[in-house]
Structure 1
Amino acid sequence: MNKKGIIFDLDGTLWDASTQVVPAWNIVLKRHSELDKQITIDDMRGFMGKRIEVIAEIMFPRMDSEKRMKILEECCNEEQIYLRKHGGILYPKLEETLKLLAQNYSIYIVSNCQDGYVQGFLDYHKLWSYFKDIEMSGRTGKCKGENIKIIIERNEINNSVYVGDTNGDLEGAEYAGIPFIYAAYGFGQLDNVKYSINNISDINKIISSIL
């Protein structure tokens, strides 16, 4: 049986939660008044797609790793509470596109986020029925490419593609040895990619030529 899978990134690919996450993180940063730091939407969009350890280093380059990770974990916990109440902004025609894709393909999510973040997205927007499996770096401690391979192996997928918006997503697909579709409407800026879409619904126009 030729099992075909479409594996999606989350932030910048399926939704934009940056405007919702910023106030949650700033709540935590206000608790640490000694930092005298707040972040902007542009800051957050620059963080999207990066692992928590990398974001912590960018935000607090002079702080020891244990302390900065503790603060980022607080931010992530506050973020999950906030997103489960408010959700994020789904890209246009997302559910309609997922419904069409699910008729012929198995659909998955792999994200560089903390455990619970993908679940919050699926819970709030009631999208669980479209996805067969999910994985994230916060649960496995592994990079995106390794998590893509985990999804492929665990679900016995024969033919798959990864859809994302950043260079890290491209590198993850290359690591896993599968084609990449660039979500050009997201947060990243990529050139010279073989497959590109300007809206999530555009995937329906090209997916059959890839899988």
Structure 2
Amino acid sequence: MKKALIFDMDGTLFQTDLLLEPALVATFDVLRKTSGWEGDTPIETYRKIMGAPLPVVWETLCPQHSLEIREKSNEIFHEKLIKLIKNHQGSLYPNAELVLEKLSENHTLYIASNGQIDYLQAIVETYHLNRFFKKVYSIQSISSGHKSDLVKKIIDENNINAGAVIGDRLSDINAAKENGLMAIGVNFDFAQPEELKHADQVIHNLIELI
């Protein structure tokens, strides 16, 4: 049986930071016109919570707004992101394709992401990632909203007994450890030093995975 490698998407394979500001600015421009938002777009706040489940993200960004407005904001944000992705205004991290091609020769690869299905599909289709990954798993496929449960679903469905989770946030590291897999932290745009110290290994470029 091939060993499995389970990758996070945002901040691990895909440089979400390139699209973050224009998509958030466009979303909060709409909120200023329709929902009484005042002040600057909370870009730095979003950077700090990148990788959190979407309900947590919008509760943090719009604490004074209703659940309905938060859900609508999330819809707008994803529409903006997907449009930018399909226009090739984003990018994979350096060496991503080379590394994925090499690793897929001897490992089965999966994606486990807190991103929505349509958002993940836009990235996969735009950058032709299906050639490397057996399956892409979104947090929307489980009811708990926890990355650990998503990784367990991947393990159970695919009879995985060894491998690693590669990601930039504590939720990825915990998902690995709670499921008996190796935790590899990537020290990229959204990574936090206090979270990465819990990883079994930390890399600074995807090429190190080979």
Which TM class, normalised by the smaller chain length?
0.7 to 0.9
* Cα deviation, residue 45, structure 1: 2.4
Shift of the 67–40 alpha-carbon distance from structure 1 to 2, 3 Å rule, reads: closer
Letter in 1 for 2:131: S
What amino acid is aligned across from residue 17 of structure 1 in structure 2? T
CA distance in 1, matches of 2:172, 2:6: 11
Residues 114 and 137 in structure 1, CA contact (< 8 A), matched pair in contact too: yes
**SS of the counterpart of 2:10?**
coil
Percent of aligned positions that are identical: 29
Find out whether 1:195 has 2:166 as its counterpart: no
Cα distance, 1:72 vs. partner?
A: 1.7
Partner residue in 1 for 2:123 = 121
Alignment match, 1:32: 31
Structure 1 position 70, deviation (Å): 2.2
Q: Which residue of 1 aligns with 2:147?
A: 144
* 2:78 aligned partner: 76
* One-letter code aligned to 1:24: A
- Residue 43 to residue 85, structure 1, CA distance change in 2 (3 Å): farther
In angstroms, what is the RMSD of aligned CA positions? 1.8
Mind listing any 5+ residue stretches in structure 2 that lack a counterpart?
Answer: none
**Cα distance between partner residues in 2 of 1:178 and 1:184:** 19
- Offset of residue 109 of structure 1: 0.4
* Ranges of 4+ aligned residues in structure 1 off by more than 6 Å: none
Q: Per the alignment, do residues 115 and 159 of structure 1 end up closer, same or farther by CA in structure 2, a change over 3 Å counting? A: same
| TM-score, with length taken from structure 2 | 0.88
TM-score by length of 1: 0.87
Is the Cα contact below 8 Å between 1:19 and 1:41 reproduced in 2? Answer: no
Matches within 5 A, 1:98-109: 98-109=100-111
**After superposition, what is the alpha-carbon deviation per residue over 1:67-111, rounded to whole angstroms, capped at 9, x for unaligned?**
222222221222222222224222111111111101100011001
Following TM superposition, by how much is the alpha carbon of 1:125 offset from its aligned partner in structure 2, in angstroms?
1.2
